[in-house]
Amino acid sequence: MVRQAEAGDVKTIAELDKICFSAPWSESSFEKEIKENQLAFYIVAEIDHCIVGYAGLWRIIDEGHITNVAVHPDFRQKGIGEALVSVLLDHTQREGIRSHTLEVRASNFAAISLYTKLGFVNVGYRKNYYEDNGEDAIIMWRTE
C-alpha cells in the first residue's frame, strides 16, 4: 500500500534513508519536510504495516522535483520503487504539474532504468554533485 507520509513516519523514513544512501538526510530534515514544508509531498510504501520505501517531491510552480526515492534492500526488485514514483507522478499531475525532474547517481543503473521506463530522459550532468564521493549526477526530466 502507498499512502501519504505522516509526522509519525519521520523516524522510520530517516532510518530507511541511512540504510539506502551513503549520504543520508537527517531525521530533522525529514521532520521539516513532512511537517513544515508546504511545497513538499512525501509518500511511503507499506507491507504488513511496515514502511519499506518512501519517495518525496518538491512542487516548484508547475514543476515537480523528485528529491528522494528509497526502497529497503530486502524489498527491491518487487515493483515498489516504480509504484512510489508512479504515485508521485499521478498525484502531482492531477495538481497541474506537467514536468518532473530529478538527479540520480551516474552509477545507479537500476534507478536510471526505472526512471527511463517511466518516461524520464537524460538531459545533462552535474559534475561532482555528490559530496560523499564526488560522483556525477545525471539530470533527468519527464514532460507530459
CA distance 132 to 72: 20
Write out residues in the chain with pLDDT < 50, as ranges.
none
13 close to 51: Cβ distance less than 8 angstroms:
yes
Task: Give me the amino acid identity at 36.
Answer: E
Q: In the prediction, which pLDDT does 99 show? A: 97
Secondary structure E strands in 1-144 = 2-4, 40-47, 50-60, 63-71, 99-105, 121-126, 137-143
107-139 pLDDT per residue, tens? 999 999 999 999 999 999 999 999 888 999 999
Cell representation of residue 36? 513544515
d(CA 2, CA 12): 15
Active-site annotation holder among 42, 54, 115, 131: 115
Domain containing 84: what range?
2-143
Map grid coordinates 507520509 to a residue.
5
The pLDDT of residue 131? 84
The active-site residue out of 103, 130, 135, 144 is 103
103 is catalytic: yes
Residue 131 annotated in active site: no
Structurally, the chain folds into a number of domains equal to 1
- CATH value at residue 80: 3.40.630.30
Per-residue model confidence (pLDDT) at position 132:
86
